[in-house]
Chains A and B, each alone.
Chain A
Amino acid sequence: MSDTPVVELKAVSKQFRGGTVALQGIDLTVEPREFVSLIGPSGCGKSTLLRVIGDLIPPTEGSASVNGKTAGRARRDRDYGIVFQQAVLYDWRTVGKNIELPLEMLNWDRKRRKARVAEMLDLVELGGFEGHHPWQLSGGMQQRVAIARALSFEPALLLMDEPFGALDEMTRERLNSELLRIWAETGSTVVFVTHSIPEAVFLSTRVVVMSARPGRIAEVIDIDLPQPRTSAMREDARFFELVTRVREALIRGGVEV
């Protein structure tokens, strides 16, 4: 296996038209199979950083590479899947057809698409919902469809922008565990934006703490909780220690927690 980093950011800065500096001097390397969370206050540029990695917006300075290629090349090679806070499902398509969408873009034939959709529905435990329309599902189920869609073409990298931010606490914890199971099963690399400290600690192998505007990396904290993670670990002394460390890093970065 090659040890090319999945994501490599070098001195990335982003200034929006109008002068707002969203990101300043970001250096970050994400290795294969890592689960890295970006955490920080609202407006610290974490979503912007995710979009720079995905080549959805260009950085003003510095460079972003994915799988050893430029971010643009990687996007055109469909190297990553993305999940937003809202599921962004197409109302006029059924659940199955929503998951199929990226496969249509890849010009897969119908039979292969159907087979993969069935696999993905199993993976996110939505068997039997293929023919439903998005509005017939709960928010948590919709988000699982969005995850299935992002993973359907087996991208090496999964970019997630507060994917569980709009869900209730119970659903969120359930989906956290499910995401970890999927991450272990698929062997993908995840970059995950959140503003929930316990979520970041529970999910990640590393937590990147960002400071308020202009967005900078304040601290990077290794999460040494054993794998695979279990819900019981949420009550572990080590879990609380790490939560405290992240919180203190956020405060040092200028956030009132």
Chain B
Amino acid sequence: MPTRAAAERIGTFLAVLGVLWGAWEGWRWIGSHYHLTWPFAVNDTTMPHLHRIIQALFQPAQANGPSLLHVLLNASAFTAKEAVLGFVLGGIGGFAIAVVLMQSRFLERGIIPYVVASQTIPLLAIAPMVIVGLESKFGGTLSAWECVSVLAAYLTFFPVTINALRGLQSADPRAVELMRSYAASRWRILWKLQAPASLPYLFSAFRIAAPLAIVGAIISEPSASIQGGLGGAIVNFNQYYSIEPQELWATNVISALLGIAFFLVIVFAERAIVRRAPEQLA
């Protein structure tokens, strides 16, 4: 049911979009009119008209081929598949690591530095190890896109582990005593108390992890020689950037929209799942 609040939101969104559009075209006009060269020269290559980027979506990407939009939607679907699996793997793996780490202060102190260190290694450096190690082409058991999912999971598990650990430890100590008074097993304390208490923290992590899963998938696709996804499209249009910049820009717009879509799925899932006092609602 469209409400006043919903209408206001849509209005705000359109107003901000309008301002951003105006800023882009305004800067473009000033830059080309006064021949600005700092911080960069403004021309059709560095800042294509926004309407040209939109137009590019509806023109064939190759002569007599389907429209760019069609190509990019297919690529998005492929990348989304990788990202969803990566997100699920990273989410489950990240949560499982947190559950293990919360069992003892010693484990937490001992392992957390390695968890942090894992994120200082660029995905590009991990990619060949995962692909050569796991892909069927090299004697492993996974297909190329599944390897990409594993790499996406490598990015997504981190915020999940950090927040889940905090969330699991956020349960009221008296609530833990209460569970002990019921002679609840450690496993039951985890499922009935600590896991539900961690949900708000977990969803904060998911909001970060969902777009990360897409970034991870896009970055990893070239390493896995996948051309059918958004990563492949970006590499492809990179090569033509100086001639047809609007195609790469259009690809970026679609990638961003996919990331936003993932983010929104998490936001709506959170609203449906997490029950908490109104004053604690974000």
Contact = CB atoms under 8 A, between A and B. Distances in A.
A214 interface: no
B175 to A, nearest CB: 5
Interface string B163-177: 000000000101101
Contacts of A102: 182
Interface in A40-97: 51, 54, 56, 75-78, 80-82, 84, 86, 88, 90-92
A84 B193 CA distance: 17
Interface string A85-125: 01010111000000001101110000000000000000000
A90 B193 contact: yes
A133 interface: yes
A92 B199 CA distance: 10
B275 interface: yes
Contacts of B279: 135
Contacts of B175: 88, 90
Nearest to A106: B182
Given A84-B174, A86-B174, A104-B192, A92 B181 contact: no
A83 to B, nearest CB: 9
A88 B277 contact: no
A88 B192 contact: no
B256 interface: no
B76 to A, nearest CB: 35
A215 B175 CA distance: 26
B188 interface: yes
B183 A88 contact: no
B182 A92 contact: no
Contact of A92 (B179, B184, B188, B196): B196
Given A88-B172, A90-B175, A90-B196, A135 B277 contact: yes
Nearest to B280: A91
A90 B199 CA distance: 13
Interface in B132-185: 172, 174-175, 177-184
A84 B174 CA distance: 8
A80 B181 CA distance: 7
B274 interface: yes
B278 interface: yes
Contacts of B276: 91-92, 135
Main SS class of interface, B: helix
Interface string B187-203: 01000110010010000
A105 B199 contact: no
A75 B180 contact: yes
A92 B179 CA distance: 16
B182 A78 contact: yes
Nearest to A149: B178
Given A91-B275, A92-B199, A75 B174 contact: no
Nearest to A80: B181
A88 B174 contact: yes
Contact of B183 (A75, A82, A104): A75
A134 B277 CA distance: 8
B199 to A, nearest CB: 7
A105 B174 contact: no
Given A75-B183, A92-B199, A82 B178 contact: yes
Interface in B17-36: none
B183 A105 contact: yes
Contacts of A91: 275-277, 280
B277 A101 contact: no
Nearest to B183: A76
Contacts of A134: 277
Interface in A180-206: none
Interface in B102-143: none
Contacts of B196: 90, 92
Contacts of B188: 105
B274 A92 contact: yes
A56 B177 contact: yes
Given A75-B183, A92-B196, A105-B188, A133 B178 contact: no
A87 to B, nearest CB: 10
A138 to B, nearest CB: 14
A231 B175 CA distance: 33
B23 to A, nearest CB: 43
Interface of B: 172, 174-175, 177-184, 188, 192-193, 196, 199, 274-280
21 contacts: A56-B180, A75-B183, A76-B183, A77-B183, A78-B182, A78-B183, A82-B178, A84-B177, A84-B178, A86-B172, A86-B174, A88-B172, A88-B175, A91-B276, A92-B199, A92-B274, A102-B182, A105-B184, A106-B182, A135-B276, A135-B279
Interface of A: 51, 54, 56, 75-78, 80-82, 84, 86, 88, 90-92, 101-102, 104-106, 133-135
Given A75-B181, A80-B181, A101-B192, 5 more contacts: A56-B180, A77-B183, A88-B172, A90-B193, A135-B279
